[in-house]
Structure 1
Amino acid sequence: MAQVAGGSAQAQTLPRLERRGEATQLIVGGKPYLVLGGETHNSSTSDLAYMAPIWPRLKAMNLNTLLVPVAWETIEPEEGRFDFSNVDGLLKSARDHDLRLVILWFGSWKNTYSSYVPGWVKRDQARFARVQTADGRGTERLSPFSTAARDADARAFAKLMQHLRAVDGTRQTVLFVQVENEVGVIPESRDHSAPAEAAFSAPVPEPLMRHLSAHRATLNPQLRAAWEAAGAPMTGSWQQVFGNGAMTDSLFMSWWYATFIERVTAAGKAEYALPMFTNAALIRPNYEPGQYNSGGPLPSSLDIWKAGAPSLDFLSPDIYFDNYAHWASEYRRPDNVLFVPEARGGAAGAANLLYTIGALKGLGFSPFGVDGAGVVLAGDVSVGVGAGHDGDPAIGAIYGQLKRLAPLVLQKQAEGKINTVVMEGAAQRVGRGRIGDYVVNMTRANGPDGSVDPTSRVAAMFLQTGPDEFIVLGSGDVQISFTSDRPGAPIVGIEAIDEQMLRDSGTVTGRRLNGDENAQGQSLRLFSKDAAEGRVYRVRLYRYR
């Protein structure tokens, strides 16, 4: 078990990932921890004065963790001279507001670009080589084939982690660290610099081929299909092993980004071994490599990243697209726990959060832009604290419930007695899932204005507290009935529904809803206002003929 060195006379156990029953969980201070997070805009944390009025609003949104960028240019403005005053200011503000942090290391890359590297790196293109296009033009991206960039990044990151160990090893305000951000190549599918061209024509590295062979049965289906379509050779160039398609370029870049980031991650962990991860920008429908971040840790290349960057504890998706359940499920694997560091907030985000921690037993969730106007995508506004200074009411309300239920949620994750049913988009008219011996059947219900929104994203999470008893909470207006396909009496009835009001002082039992409110024992109704009012439901079922 890793111990903190140099931070205190009495060594403390580090935050770590631990398998507990059916879930991998983050352990902080010896106890499981559920990340109720939010990520700031990219440059907000570079100015402590800008952040000063924002911290109390974040706390009021019921966050327990804030994801904050730390830029290479901020801590090493001149080569070899380090300044951690900004980092120390973030630590102090987080502690003053009883918040934990996840550090986002904006080192060599942020959203494919190298915009947060120090000026001395940007200006020295002879030493710090750039990604080149096929016609020889340079780009605003450091090349993953640049050993000078890799080693300079690794030295800076190691200094950051050394400093965190010294000033935070005892308090452990920082829980884990993201290494780089949304790496990849755009607008072409791979680097065409001279070292990249030589590597592309050379044999696929033997350690990668050994890994693919050892894990062949469990490889991502798209990766395995490409390899087997080429005859599943154990040696050869990248095109000989994976074919001539555009995906081969992305797989090639994945290996080189992964091995670059491995060196950076390992250098940091040698100083302070917090959990570490990196994140992926996902693929829009029908896009080809180069239209998206070619080489990032996408589902098709997760196995390559696992082979090339074993020091990373997990790989994460940034999910802004509508088919959230599909993308999130791709990252919940036996060798990878799910954490979503960037996503939309609002009502859609609240439903996605419940799916992440319920159906997929994730570590937590983090809407992007919680210090500003959030994210606008396809007309959906995910409001941040910059809009009227009222935060994100939907996320704040669901976080308010979950911070009180977190011990139970984490217990049920480990026991495998938790699930979430989600409905996404107008094409899905019914939601269905299982909890214990029961099948959950869910439809959208009338909202406050009396109409049903057929496009709304809604969810209901179930925590099994007994053979026939459940705590239920949700996001959106939904109607739920129960059936069973297990042996026994064929009809499922509702014995009782009790309101449970979550308060800081504890849980208060409210009304018994056994009349019109539950259709005389036929269904459970959840309302979009429940979270804001701190209401969940204790439901007891029974079987009859």
Structure 2
Amino acid sequence: MRSSAILLASAMLSVTAAPALAQEGEVPHIETRQGRHALIVDGAPFLMLAGQVNNSSNYPKPLQTAWPVLDRIGANTVEVPVAWQQLEPREGQFDFSFVQALLDQARSHDKRVVLLWFGAWKNTGLAYTPDWVKVDNRRFPRMKKPDGSDHDVLTPHSAETLRADKRAFLALMTYVRDHDPQNTIVMVQPENEVGSYRNPRDYGAAAQKLFAGAVPQALTRRLGGRSGTWSQVFGNKADRAFNTWFTARYIEELAAAGKAIKPLPMYVNAALADPFKEPDPQSVASGGPQGDVLDIWKAAAPSLDFAAPDIYDRKSRNVLKHLDLYTRPDNALMVPEIGNAREYARYFWPALGRGAIGFSPFGMDGSDYFNFPLGAKSFDEATLDAYAAKYRVLSEAMRPWAKIAFEHPTWGAAKPDDGAAQEMTMGSWQITASFGQWQFGQREWFPDADLPAWASEPVGGIAVAQLSADTFLLTGDHARVSFAPAAGSPPNGMVLRIEEGHFAKDDWVTDRVWNGDQTDYGINLTARPVWLKVTMGRYR
């Protein structure tokens, strides 16, 4: 660490007294319009084709191993943690050397950055707090279990923990404001996967007194329910609701104060549970922003722009449900973490189809760490290609797609675990994506022919945008797509034209027109995604 660490006094002076420096460009922000969302970077919608590095790659040397992997998959954004323990190793002395190294390396590799603050919580634990926090349990108390013993998670009820965490976070935000006028950093995540496993809330004396009191009116108004104590209002869900509210209030303190320094978008990420079951308070990260408690987070932490799912569930039904839970008129969809195994890559398409502003497989560096069974066992070419092919086609139209998705209806699908075809009605047209077919003919025509290799593999998906009543933009891979009149629509519908092309800035340029074998058996998308514009019509 640098010997010229910044003293607390000077850091806090800059936080509280210094005027905001002029930025070179418009500060990135989230815009919402008619229930759709866009991340605005440099004045226009931006899609984060991202990768998150491993937890311990937050030092200059291991960070260097990330760039070849990110370049290999075509990422335009990197998610990188900054730990409280490395920023403030001794109380009141701040070391920003890694933050500057991150900025320098990202700029040299033409990447935007999502900054992850590992403060009081990282995967619910306190491992990334400074040593002087870890060892001082009286000043920075852990949660209490029902039997009065300590639980190794910091309590969200400690004013002293919040004060110290907030002081460090604001010092970081001040450094970002003063040293990143070009907005290399486009977004900030305060804390990481907050909550508590195996102890749904703090049972210490101060927490018990709060739990016996009334639920805050801001929350009861949001939920439209009756007033009363936590147990009266939430019943057997009271412990988790209580911890969710006070954890979110803690994060709100960081987000509101951080945005006052530089108003970058801020979000929280969730460690997830089975989306089709009521979470067990003992086995879920109680207090975190899971899909069923988002309304509590919205009420408690209005300064946050959105909550986001960290997806490490290989079941397609569960993944799609998680995407649905976080796709809301009041919540932009972003996937800040998803497993980096090949099979997860197909969920890029339904995320895009739900208007996602970003997508990021986890562990995308060359540090030789792999979190199997959550993610990949290793980075073979097939695994990297699964992400690279998708990022490549989107990078060719990143700005146009982000703008189109902000302004037009979109839909996306991935091959489900059972391989069943997926359907959606958009306007007066039904769109069907099927999987595991050759490009030529119908399967029943050649019952003895071999199936393609990908027929039994977890690959394939599409993303569609409806540009007008009869015009659609389409991309995807390992899928056969058909358009047909929707039920109850006028008769005699047909495909008029299928153009393969590219974008020159925001303008569509046709490279060729598909016909004959390329269209007689549906629109067949291979392992190399392309952009297609499909025009439908009717004859009279």
TM-score, normalising length from structure 2? Answer: 0.86
Q: How far does residue 139 in structure 1 lie from its aligned partner after superposition?
A: 2.4
Q: How far does residue 517 in structure 1 lie from its aligned partner after superposition?
A: 3.0
Q: Equivalent of 1:207, from 218, 221, 224? A: 218
Q: How far does residue 40 in structure 1 lie from its aligned partner after superposition?
A: 0.9
Note if contact 2:124-2:196 (Cα within 8 Å) is conserved in structure 1. Answer: yes
Distance 2:457 2:382 in 1: 25
Q: How far does residue 315 in structure 1 lie from its aligned partner after superposition?
A: 1.0
Q: How far does residue 454 in structure 1 lie from its aligned partner after superposition?
A: 5.6
2:32 aligns to what?
19
Q: Structure 1's 10 and 354: CA in aligned 2 closer, same or farther, altered over 3 A?
A: closer
Q: Equivalent of 1:429, from 420, 433, 439? A: 420
CA displacement, residues 360-419 of structure 1 (integer Å, 9 cap, x when unaligned): 2121111111115555347xx547xx7358972111111111111123212322322432
1:115 aligns to what?
127
Q: For 1:100, give the aligned amino acid.
A: R
Note if contact 1:277-1:312 (Cα within 8 Å) is conserved in structure 2. Answer: yes
Q: For 2:461, give the aligned amino acid.
A: A
Q: How far does residue 444 in structure 1 lie from its aligned partner after superposition?
A: 1.2
Two-structure CA RMSD over aligned residues (Å): 2.7
Q: How far does residue 497 in structure 1 lie from its aligned partner after superposition?
A: 3.1
Q: Structure 1's 166 and 368: CA in aligned 2 closer, same or farther, altered over 3 A?
A: same
CA displacement, residues 487-517 of structure 1 (integer Å, 9 cap, x when unaligned): 42x243333334437899x987555432233
2:15 aligns to what?
none
Distance 2:221 2:331 in 1: 20
* Matches for 1:141-220 after TM superposition, within 5 Å: 141-168=153-180, 170-212=181-223, 216=224
Note if contact 1:482-1:493 (Cα within 8 Å) is conserved in structure 2. Answer: yes
Q: Equivalent of 2:253, from 246, 256, 263? A: 263
2:271 aligns to what?
281
Q: For 1:492, give the aligned amino acid.
A: G
1:494 aligns to what?
495
Would you say how many aligned residue pairs link Structure 1 and Structure 2? 504
2:350 aligns to what?
355
Q: How far does residue 95 in structure 1 lie from its aligned partner after superposition?
A: 0.4
2:431 aligns to what?
440
Note if contact 1:484-1:492 (Cα within 8 Å) is conserved in structure 2. Answer: no
Q: For 1:352, give the aligned amino acid.
A: Y
1:76 aligns to what?
88
Following TM superposition, the consecutive aligned residue runs of length 4 or more in structure 1 with deviations greater than 6 angstroms are 501-504
Note if contact 1:40-1:370 (Cα within 8 Å) is conserved in structure 2. Answer: yes
CA displacement, residues 91-121 of structure 1 (integer Å, 9 cap, x when unaligned): 1000000101000100000111010000000
Note if contact 1:255-1:304 (Cα within 8 Å) is conserved in structure 2. Answer: yes
1:295 aligns to what?
287
Distance 1:161 1:516 in 2: 57
| 100-109 vs 305-314, which moves further | 305-314
1:327 lines up with 2:322 in the alignment = yes
CA displacement, residues 70-110 of structure 1 (integer Å, 9 cap, x when unaligned): 00001000010000001100110000001010001000001
Q: Structure 1's 482 and 340: CA in aligned 2 closer, same or farther, altered over 3 A?
A: same
For structure 2, the 5+ residue unaligned runs are 1-17, 439-449
Q: Structure 1's 293 and 10: CA in aligned 2 closer, same or farther, altered over 3 A?
A: closer
Q: Structure 1's 345 and 542: CA in aligned 2 closer, same or farther, altered over 3 A?
A: farther
The residue matched to 1:278 in structure 2 has which SS?
strand
CA displacement, residues 154-207 of structure 1 (integer Å, 9 cap, x when unaligned): 111010001110101x11110010011111111122222222222222222233
2:525 aligns to what?
526
Distance 1:201 1:405 in 2: 54
1:316 lines up with 2:328 in the alignment = no
Q: For 2:345, give the aligned amino acid.
A: A
The residue matched to 2:393 in structure 1 has which SS?
helix
Q: For 1:515, give the aligned amino acid.
A: G
Note if contact 1:104-1:181 (Cα within 8 Å) is conserved in structure 2. Answer: yes
Q: For 2:528, give the aligned amino acid.
A: D
Distance 1:328 1:514 in 2: 35
Note if contact 2:73-2:385 (Cα within 8 Å) is conserved in structure 1. Answer: yes
Q: Equivalent of 2:103, from 91, 105, 109? A: 91
The residue matched to 1:393 in structure 2 has which SS?
helix
The residue matched to 1:124 in structure 2 has which SS?
coil
The residue matched to 2:188 in structure 1 has which SS?
strand
Distance 1:302 1:330 in 2: 9
1:227 aligns to what?
none
TM-score, normalising length from structure 1? Answer: 0.86
Q: How far does residue 484 in structure 1 lie from its aligned partner after superposition?
A: 2.4
Note if contact 1:351-1:474 (Cα within 8 Å) is conserved in structure 2. Answer: no
Q: For 1:369, give the aligned amino acid.
A: G
Q: How far does residue 293 in structure 1 lie from its aligned partner after superposition?
A: 0.2
2:61 aligns to what?
49
1:233 lines up with 2:226 in the alignment = yes
Q: For 1:493, give the aligned amino acid.
A: M
| 306-315 vs 337-346, which moves further | 337-346
Note if contact 1:103-1:176 (Cα within 8 Å) is conserved in structure 2. Answer: yes
Note if contact 1:482-1:523 (Cα within 8 Å) is conserved in structure 2. Answer: no
| Aligned-residue identity in percent | 36
1:368 lines up with 2:362 in the alignment = yes
The residue matched to 2:365 in structure 1 has which SS?
coil
Note if contact 2:436-2:456 (Cα within 8 Å) is conserved in structure 1. Answer: no
Distance 1:390 1:271 in 2: 43
Q: For 2:256, give the aligned amino acid.
A: A
CA displacement, residues 243-263 of structure 1 (integer Å, 9 cap, x when unaligned): 1x2x22111110110111111
1:130 aligns to what?
142
Q: Structure 1's 139 and 178: CA in aligned 2 closer, same or farther, altered over 3 A?
A: same
1:462 aligns to what?
464
The residue matched to 2:397 in structure 1 has which SS?
helix
CA displacement, residues 272-304 of structure 1 (integer Å, 9 cap, x when unaligned): 221111111111365511211011111221111
Q: Structure 1's 10 and 518: CA in aligned 2 closer, same or farther, altered over 3 A?
A: closer
